[in-house]
Amino acid sequence: MARNIYGLDLGTYEIKVFDKKKDRIWREKNVIAMKDKRYIFSIGDEAYEMYEKAPDNIQVVFPMKNGVITHFDDMQYLLGNLLKTDRQFSRGSEYVIAVPTDVTEVEKKAFYDLVLHSEAKAKSVRIVERGLADAIGFGADIMNEKGLFIANFGGGTTELSVLSYGGLVLNRLVKIGGEHFDSAVASLVRHNEEFLIGRLTAERLRREFGVFDEDTGRRFTVFGRDLLTGVPSQMDVRISLVRAAMKEPLEECVRAIRSMIDRTPPDVRRGIEAKGIYLTGGIANLRGLSTYLEESIGLPVTTVPDPELCAVKGLQKIILSKAYYKKLTYSMLDEDYRWLR
Ligand SMILES: Nc1ncnc2c1ncn2[C@@H]1O[C@H](COP(=O)(O)OP(=O)(O)OP(=O)(O)O)[C@@H](O)[C@H]1O
Ligand SMILES: [Mg+2]
- In CATH, which of 3.90.550.10, 3.30.70.270, 3.30.420.40, 1.10.3720.10 is domain 5-28+65-133+310-340? 3.30.420.40
**CATH code for 143-176+247-305?**
3.30.420.40
Q: Are 178 and 202 in contact (CB under 8 A)?
A: no
Cβ-contact 319, 95 below 8 angstroms: no
Comparing 5-28+65-133+310-340 with 178-245, is the CATH topology the same? no
Name which residue sits closest to atom 21 of ligand 1, judged by CA. Answer: 11
Q: Which ligand 1 atom is at minimum distance from the Cα of 307?
A: 18
**Alpha helical stretches, state H, the chain:** 44-50, 72-85, 105-116, 130-137, 178-193, 199-208, 239-263, 266-275, 289-297, 310-320, 322-328, 337-340
Q: What's at 271, amino acid-wise?
A: G
Q: Between the ranges 74-83, 84-93, 218-227, 296-305, where is the mean pLDDT highest?
A: 296-305
CB 316 within 8 A of CB 7: yes
Ligand 2 centroid to Cα of residue 134, in Å, is 9
Q: For 23-55, what is each residue's pLDDT tens digit? A: 999 999 999 999 988 888 999 999 999 998 888
| pLDDT of residue 341 exceeding 90 | no
Dihedral sign, Cα of residue 37, residue 100, residue 6, residue 148: positive
Best CA proximity match to 312, nearest among 27, 32, 79: 27
Domain ranges of the chain: 5-28+65-133+310-340, 143-176+247-305, 178-245
Measure 98 CA to ligand 2 centroid, in angstroms.
Answer: 9
CATH number of 178-245: 3.90.640.10
First to last CA, the chain: 35
Query: Which pLDDT score is estimated for 320?
Result: 97
pLDDT tens digits for 162-175?
A: 999 999 999 999 99
Q: What is the pLDDT of residue 335?
A: 61
Ligand 1 atom with least separation from CA of 181 = 29
Mean local confidence (pLDDT), 60-70 = 96
CB atoms within 10 A of CB 175: 13
CA–CA–CA angle 92, 114, 44 (5° rounding): 95
Whole-number Cα distances in Å, 86 to 10, 27, 79, 125, 224: 17, 11, 11, 20, 35
Q: Whose CA is nearest to atom 8 of ligand 1?
A: 282
Structure confidence at residue 214 (pLDDT): 72
Q: Which residues form ligand 1's pocket by a CB distance below 6 Å?
A: 11-14, 67, 154-157, 177-178, 203, 207, 281-283, 285-286, 308
The reported pTM is: 0.95
Q: Is the pLDDT of residue 122 over 90?
A: no
Share of the chain above pLDDT 90, in %: 80
What is the maximum alpha-carbon separation in the chain? 65
Strands 158-164 and 167-174: antiparallel
